[in-house]
Structure 1
Amino acid sequence: MTTDDVVTLLIRHRVREGREQEYESWLRRIIGIAKGYPGHLGIDVVRDRKDGLHLFTSVLRFASTSQLQTWLDSDERRRLIEEVSHLLADGDQVEINPEREFWFTPAPADVRQPPRWKQACVTFLVILPLSLLVPLLWQPLFQLLPWLGGYLPSNVLITLSIVLLVVYLFMPPVTRFFAGWLNVR
């Protein structure tokens, strides 16, 4: 399997007012069930508000389109969607995308993503300083433990540090800061 094979399923549910706890309980159940399907690679849930209602955007990744389709067509998923339908304001909104990246908040289907070149510029601005700073911060430990400073271990630690810092610490506030520019065509 290559990363080109990975397919992403985006599901949006706007939940009726006052029914959020019921939905959260149902969501935990369906996530646990989806994880058991072949090819399931993980799920992220983004919580937001739209038009005064809670919006839950679930981003599921599968190893292939056929494995994703197996989940979508399953009787189990169909039954779970029927079970929750009375809690949803707009029904089950599903979008399949084999190429979409989600470093930026997934936008509704009717909202276009920022151009990739703008996403690349913002990503570069975040990664460049980290790629210069993070190796320097690891140097004292590499000198103390020379085996950790070897080519493979040091690159794994440096890359892991940069990825975690980008995804969890720097990219969210930076994308908010550049939101106006990212959305101007």
Structure 2
Amino acid sequence: MKDYFLQTKRIGFSIWSKEDLNLAEALWGDPDVTRYISAEGELTAEEVKDRLLMEINQYQEHGVQYFPIFEAEENVFIGCCGLRPYDFKSGIYEIGCHLIHTMWGKGYAGEAARAMIDYAFKEIKANKLFAGHHPENSASQKFLEKLGFHYTHDEFYQPTGLQHPSYVLKQQPPGS
């Protein structure tokens, strides 16, 4: 059973460890999941391992990562949702969410992202959140807009070699 540092009604957020390689492989080893996050559309086994180690390192250095998420009641792996520093000095974090394709369409991404947005502003004290998506991924565009993100610019994303539409979410004042 995983320990959760954050929980919603259905989702528990944990922290990646080296023992989670099988989960990382189930997620980032699936071309359905990675088709919009790498130039080749899929990650090799070595790239998946590197991705896991990068997430672990992010947590050690900055206290955030794209946290592994689980269906809390049954402890079933869903994917990941979390933060990484975007402009650390300015308090801007990037938010991201990747789900195992069998978990798509069940509302987990929205529930996890809303919890992470709340966590970012209340616990991490982020000033803004940044997000981007592959230019062909219209579902991510709709998802970000539904969460309240506003398009700001296109930005080069090294892993795909493309300009990605980019968005910002500013913290809302209390009571707004």
Q: What TM-score comes out, normalization by structure 2 length?
A: 0.30
More helix per residue: 1 or 2?
Answer: 1
Which structure has more relative contact order (CA 8 Å, sep 6+)? It is 1
Higher-Rg structure is 1
